[in-house]
Amino acid sequence: MYLEHYNLNRKPFQITADPSFLWLGEKHKEALAFLKYGILDNKGFLLLTGDIGTGKTTLINALVESLGKDVIVATVYDPSLEPIEFYSFMGKAFNLPAKFTGKGEFLIYFKKFLFSAYDNNKKVLLIVDEAQRIDQVLLEEIRNLSNIEKEYTKLINIFFVGQNEFNNIILENQNRAIRQRITLNYNLKPLDQEETAEYIKHRLSVSGTQAQLFSDKAIHEVYAFSKGYPRLINIICDHAMLSGYVKDTRTITSEMVSECADELRIERKKIARQKPMRKKKRPKKATPQPKTKPKPGLKPKEKFKPKTHVVKKKRNTTDMILYTVLVVLLLVGLVIAGYLYYYTM
């Protein structure tokens, strides 16, 4: 979109690993020299680690491009494989003339392949990318491949490339055998601010311009956002150049980079946590007790029935007195009636 605006022949800040844009700072030159030496000298196990976006894949591509035809290379881009899947992949990558259903069959053909390469003065390199994703079983299988030797010479170089987490895996006690076999180890670090400026200048030059499109303050803002990670440098610079195109200016300022950085930042939003609703406890159902049959000759126990006590209501004192008076009067009347009857006769 903005190529004509800046007089460019290609986009300078693509995030794909294009070897033609490879910029080698002191760190990268040193890493490339170490790794190339390890391969050509059959050092066995090599290790390259670095944080996400430090340029590991770009460096690997440059390394493979720099190797001659006397090095046979296969790259495993995703090592989260089952052993049998790994053997099948290896067979296809190294053009072995068979399909494998088991480890033994694979090893027979692979050993013949390594011996043939050695006899023809060729070296074999296996690159395991994203090595932090490998599991313990496959790691042991790969280690065992390094045991294939001829005339005290390693027949395969195994190159682990992964994020810094892979160092923790190698440092585990169960992996001490493979750790002791790593002869070259390099950790790739982010660029500093001066290297960031050189990196931007180099990519613009490859794209067809020698003009200083980014001001010094703009480069400072790029470094502040990216912390020297090439992938983030590419992302922020691409956004800034698009912003310059929209604003119809050919000079990228610090304000423009700062605006792009604000747009790219992903902020954490606080979400109010709702209290979980308490579930109403259901009344526990009484567990029915098994009925026991009475033993022969014994009467079954009667159920306990509580005795009910009848509470008699107390009569009032006045009622009792009236009742007594009536009884006395009745008796007196009977006595008088009997006395009159006796004397009248």
pLDDT, tens digit (0-9, with 9 covering 90-100), for 89-102: 999 999 988 778 88
303: its two tokens = 């159920």
Specify the 3-state DSSP secondary structure of 231. Answer: helix
- Tallying the residues shown for the chain, one arrives at 345
83 and 42 co-located in one domain: yes
91 and 223 co-located in one domain: no
Q: Helix 193-206 to helix 216-226 angle, to the nearest 10 degrees?
A: 110
40 and 160 co-located in one domain: yes
- Whether the Cβ atoms of residue 221 and residue 254 lie closer than 8 Å to each other: yes
Amino acid at 49: T
Domain final residue pick, 144, 167, 188: 188
Percent of the chain whose pLDDT exceeds 90: 53
CB proximity list for 14: less than 8 A, separation 6 or greater:
21, 234, 238
* 206-263 pLDDT per residue, tens: 999 999 999 999 999 999 999 999 999 999 999 999 999 999 999 999 999 999 999 9
Residue 46 phi, psi (nearest 5): -125, 150
Calpha distance 20→203 (Å, rounded): 9
* 7-19 pLDDT per residue, tens: 999 999 988 877 7
pLDDT at 282: 61
The whole-model pTM stands at 0.71
Domain final residue pick, 246, 264, 282: 264
pLDDT at 311: 45
Strand 182-188 to strand 71-76: parallel, antiparallel, or no bridges (unpaired)?
unpaired
Nearest-CA neighbor of 125 among 180, 22, 46? 46
pLDDT at 310: 47
- Whether the Cβ atoms of residue 248 and residue 218 lie closer than 8 Å to each other: no
Residue 167 has pLDDT above 80, yes or no: yes
pLDDT at 243: 93
Instruction: DSSP letter for 133, please.
Output: G
74 and 176 co-located in one domain: yes
Count of structural domains, the chain: 2
175 and 246 co-located in one domain: no
Q: Given its phi and psi angles, is residue 233 left (phi above 0), alpha (psi -120 to 50 degrees) or beta?
A: alpha
